[in-house]
Amino acid sequence: MWRAQHTPLGPATVHVRVEADARTVHARAWGDGAEWSIAHADDLVGASDDPHAFQPSDPMLRSLVARLPRLRLARTVAVYDIAVAAVIDQRVSGREARGTWNALVRRFGTPAPGPTTGRPPGLRLLPSPDVLAGLGDAARRTLGLEMRRGVALSSVAADARGLERAATLGADVLDRRLQSIAGVGVWTSATVRAYALGDTDALPLGDWHLPHEIGAALAGERRADDARMVELLEPYRPQRFRVVRLVLASGATLARRAPRAEIPDLLRKEATGRPFTVRRRLRFE
Residue pair 177/166 in contact (Cβ under 8 Å)? The answer is: yes
Average pLDDT of 57-72?
90
Give the pLDDT confidence of 11-52 residue by residue, as tens digits. Answer: 999 999 988 887 888 999 999 999 999 999 999 999 889 998
DSSP string, 173-223: HHHHHHHTSTT--HHHHHHHHHHHH--TT---TT-SSHHHHHHHHHH--S-
Please give the single-letter amino acid code of residue 234.
E
Is the pLDDT assigned to residue 253 strictly greater than 60?
Answer: no
Q: What is the pLDDT of residue 282?
A: 43
Alpha carbons 28 and 60: distance in angstroms, whole number: 40
Q: What is the pLDDT of residue 264?
A: 60
Portion of the chain with pLDDT greater than 70, in percent: 88
Is the pLDDT assigned to residue 198 strictly greater than 70?
Answer: yes
pTM: 0.87
Query: What's the number of CA atoms in the CB half-sphere (13 Å) around residue 71?
Result: 19
Give the pLDDT confidence of 102-140 residue by residue, as tens digits. Answer: 999 999 999 999 988 889 999 999 999 999 999 999 999
